[in-house]
Amino acid sequence: MVAPGLINDLSLIEGLQEAIDKGIVCSNYIDPEYTWECLKSFKGGVALFTQPATPIKCGGAPQKIMYLAADYIRKKGLSEKSKVIFATPGSVIFGVPQIAKTLTGVLNRYQVDFKPTHTLVKIDAGDKTAYFTCKMPVKNDQSEHYEDVIAIPFDFMHLAPPQTAPEFIKKSKLVNETGWLEVDINSLQHKKHPTIFGLGDVAGLLTAKTGAAIRKQVPVVVDNILKMIKGKVADNKSYQGYSSCPLVTGYGKMVLAEFNYKNEFTPDPKLKMMLISDSSKEHWRLWLLKKYMLPYLYWNKLMKGEDV
């Protein structure tokens, strides 16, 4: 069973290592305490948030810090002298329509300048400027695009670093053309080596890399391994790409995005026990779930392999 997770690779963006070393940019993926220090010292200007074109662990995290920062900026009375920008390689704020609708409202509430199809390629630490390639529509023809380079000066910048499979995995014969473990998306069995299974962030699956996803993957892998031990076929293909992103949208507010390979919204029926009828909408009870219940479940149940 192969489950080594993933690693940050700062070399994939020009100038990123220097910007991190000099403290010009911050990242919750590297040092969340430094992010908080940068935010507390922010006195106004451009607050830039972004994420890479590579898959990342917890794909909603770059948005969560942006929403919390925007709420903090508003509480500090800095909204009028600040501009919050979210630049992302994606074309939409979220792939699940119900969640995207809610998050669009959140972006509007904080007056966030949302910049889709923007891929970070370079950071100039000296000038505090980020450079993005972006797809621009050809004049009078929205169906055709050309690629341009956009420079965005910033006063505060948070990013999720590019992430890849560990080097020993990338150099092995187990990966697909994009460098992730090549497994069947439903059984988690390797496509070329049937005695190998993979799960977690290293697996080449078309879903978000989250702990919630692993929780649904593990029972499938265990069942298939037990079947093979007994000389049976590993025919459990029940993993349908479930993943979950708890999207904190402000102090005391959260949206819970649960979805599958088809980007279908698949909320847990147990949420009704918390009197939550629609987890695609912001709710203070979801925030309580995130702040208190999920950490407890993680450390006391999931890490011990207990069912939740």
* Catalytically annotated residues: 58, 245
Instruction: Please check whether residue 17 is in contact with residue 38, taking contact to mean a CB–CB distance below 8 angstroms.
Output: no
Distances in Å between the Cα of 132 and the Cα atoms of 63, 82, 106, 162, 195 are 18, 21, 24, 14, 43
Rounded Cα distance between 231 and 32, Å, is 48
- Residue 23: count other Cβ atoms within 10 Å of its Cβ: 12
Q: At what angle do helices 32-40 and 61-75 cross, to 10 degrees?
A: 30
Side-chain half-sphere exposure of 22, counting CA atoms within 13 A: 13
Closest-CA residue to 90 (of 56, 46, 140):
56
Instruction: Please check whether residue 113 is in contact with residue 86, taking contact to mean a CB–CB distance below 8 angstroms.
Output: yes
Place of tokens 């949302």: 114
Place of tokens 């695609």: 280
- Residue 59: count other Cβ atoms within 10 Å of its Cβ: 20
Main-chain dihedrals φ then ψ at residue 190, nearest 5 degrees: -60, 140
Instruction: Please check whether residue 209 is in contact with residue 58, taking contact to mean a CB–CB distance below 8 angstroms.
Output: yes
Place of tokens 């925007």: 70
DSSP state of 14: B
Dig out the tokens for 95 from the structure. Answer: 């792939």
Main-chain dihedrals φ then ψ at residue 44, nearest 5 degrees: 125, 165
